Amino acid sequence: MNAVWSTNQLGELAENVSRPFDFKGKDKVIFVNTSDVLEGKFLHAEYTSVKGLPGQAKKAIKKGDILYSEIRPGNKRYAFVDFDAEDYVVSTKFMVIRPKCEISAEYLYVILTSQLCEQEFKIIAESRSGTFPQITFDSVSYFPVNYPDKINQNIIYRILYSFNQKIQLNSEINQNLESIAQAIFKSWFIDFDPVCAKIAAKQEGKDSELAAMCAISGKSQEELEQMSKDDFAELQATAALFPDELVESELGEVPKGWQYKKLKNLCRVINGRAYKNTEFKDEGIPIVRIQNLTGGGKTVFSDLDLPQDKLIEKEDFIYAWSATFGPYIWRGPKSIYHYHIWKMDVNETIISRYFLYLTMFRKTESMKSAGTGSIFTHLTKAIMESQDVLIADNAINMLFKDRIDKIFKLISLKSDEIKNLKNIRDTLLPKLLSGEINVSSLKDKVE
């Protein structure tokens, strides 16, 4: 039997609660601003002193609340509170939405984070005057909510929850994979662990190659002895590639045979195209802007026929040089990159793009001090091209490339899976929320 559906306005089904946070007896709290949540996730849970908190740190939240930013609703700054939050104080720029009896908090969260709701809220926000696009609960309280009984609300939520859980799991796997790549890079090219292990072993009259094998693998000598013959031989060959001496360079000690090269000798830094807002189109080739890289902003398009070096494709290395800047591996469709982004055309006969990505990831913080600009920090092409990059000998470079390429290939595959899951979820969602798909028969399967 099909579920019976009802429709009512958001303001009739939920309220925007404003509970003042009780600071009595608390020296530290977890303050959550609108920038501290994104697409359902709390980005930190760090305690901070109540002294010096900003003036907007006033609202208390409870399990079952929905946080939804009043500022720029298209930026996906929302989250569902599914935990006890007695130490959390949130900004007054959040709506704290709590449902009434007819609708569950989980189902309402699905509604409020749907594309249809987001698009409607963005239109309202952009129609209002003020410094930022903004909504209030009163301005969106008319929004019509379509809902079945609570049993079917729960089924719909569980279906979408399973998609979101798999998306979250893949995202965490990718974060772990990149952390592994960062750790290997730091060990080999920043801390010189295999080289330093060899030097220390030589000084103590021990087996330097075995010491390097332990440094590379993170295993003890006893654990190495438990490895298969083939794995042991492969690790031994890797350890043999590293020198057992550090020598002075103009930038400090480096492994013997390694040298610094200027980035301009390793990579072409190519400027993006400066577009005027009047040139943006509703269809064509997507234009990637900085706000798109950081998870927000409307996608705009161009119908211009541009040369290949003004286009980016999947796995290209790009660098945002203005405001929120840093390195990115592009994983979207073939696109045009905007003026505030550089395409890093790496000479992969010398190093891999992923090696340079990892290098620039570590250099970004120190580069900020060399930037210009009174409001936003900007880098210049000259600053980028003058960066010193430490290059190992060719054998180690090729070995590192082989290892890191495999890691980034896995990241790319998981990223593709995330996109597919999101597409399926977003295609399914409006059909679920309209009642087009009868979910009553899915109760047992969902449970």
User: How far, in Å, CA of 291 to CA of 365, rounded?
Assistant: 20
Q: Specify which residues 372 forms β-bridges with.
A: 378
**429 lies in the same domain as 309:** no
Q: Would you give per-residue pLDDT tens digits along the chain (447 residues)?
A: 467 899 999 999 999 999 999 999 999 999 999 999 998 989 999 999 999 999 999 999 999 999 999 998 888 899 999 999 999 999 999 999 999 888 999 999 999 999 889 989 999 998 887 778 899 999 999 999 999 999 999 999 999 999 999 999 999 999 999 999 999 999 999 999 999 999 999 999 999 999 999 999 999 999 998 999 999 999 999 999 999 999 999 999 999 999 999 999 999 999 998 888 888 998 899 999 988 887 666 788 998 888 899 999 999 999 999 877 899 999 999 999 998 999 999 999 889 999 999 999 999 888 877 766 555 578 889 999 999 999 999 999 999 999 999 999 999 999 999 999 999 999 999 999 888 888 876 655 555
What is the DSSP pairing of strand 88-91 with strand 259-262?
A: unpaired
**271 lies in the same domain as 370:** yes
Q: Give Cα 420 to chain centroid, integer Å.
A: 17
Pairs from 435-441 (Cβ < 8 Å, separation ≥ 24): 435/2, 435/3, 435/5, 435/146, 435/148, 438/2, 438/3, 439/3, 439/148, 439/152, 439/155, 439/156, 439/159, 440/1, 440/2, 440/3, 440/152, 440/155
User: How far, in Å, CA of 286 to CA of 275, rounded?
Assistant: 12
Residue identified by tokens 């994104």 is 38
Q: How far is CA 89 from CA 137, 210, 279, 373, 404, in A?
A: 20, 53, 43, 34, 41
CB half-sphere exposure, 280, CA atoms < 13 A: 12
With contact defined as beta carbons under 8 Å apart, do 414 and 407 qualify?
Answer: no
Which sign does the torsion angle of CA 132, 138, 142, 144 carry?
positive
**20 lies in the same domain as 111:** yes
What is the DSSP pairing of strand 144-147 with strand 94-99?
A: unpaired
Q: Where are the alpha helices (DSSP H) in 268-393?
A: 290-293, 353-368, 381-385
pLDDT 10s digits, 239-281: 999 999 999 999 999 999 999 999 999 999 999 988 888 889 9
| Residue 122 domain boundaries | 9-147
**278 lies in the same domain as 338:** yes
If DSSP codes are grouped into helix, strand and coil, which group holds residue 151?
helix
**381 lies in the same domain as 421:** no
Among 350, 369, 391, identify where a domain stops: 391
Phi then psi dihedrals of residue 377, to 5 deg:
-80, 130
**271 lies in the same domain as 387:** yes
User: How far, in Å, CA of 146 to CA of 429, rounded?
Assistant: 12
User: How far, in Å, CA of 422 to CA of 430, rounded?
Assistant: 13
Inside any domain, residue 3: no
Please count the other Cβ atoms lying within 10 Å of the Cβ belonging to residue 142: 12
The structure tokens listed for 307 are 């040369």
- The C-alpha angle with vertex 19 and arms to 15 and 25, in degrees rounded to 5, equals 160
**398 lies in the same domain as 425:** yes
Inside any domain, residue 114: yes
**132 lies in the same domain as 189:** no
**14 lies in the same domain as 142:** yes
Inside any domain, residue 1: no
**15 lies in the same domain as 142:** yes
Max Cα-Cα span within the chain? 81
How many structural domains does the chain have?
A: 3
**268 lies in the same domain as 206:** no
**62 lies in the same domain as 122:** yes
Q: How far is CA 365 from CA 119, 343, 346, 370, in A?
A: 35, 20, 21, 10
Residue identified by tokens 């990223």 is 415
444, containing H or E segment: helix 443-446
Inside any domain, residue 371: yes
Q: Which of 294, 356, 361, 301 is nearest to 334 (CA)?
A: 301
- In 74-214, the DSSP E strands lie at 78-80, 88-91, 94-99, 144-147
- Which class for 83: exposed (0-12), middle (13-18), buried (19 or more C-beta within 10 A)? exposed
With contact defined as beta carbons under 8 Å apart, do 367 and 379 qualify?
Answer: yes
For residue 297, the domain's CATH number is 3.90.220.20
With contact defined as beta carbons under 8 Å apart, do 285 and 335 qualify?
Answer: yes
Among 91, 126, 147, identify where a domain stops: 147
The structure tokens listed for 430 are 């409006």
Which sign does the torsion angle of CA 440, 442, 446, 447 carry?
positive
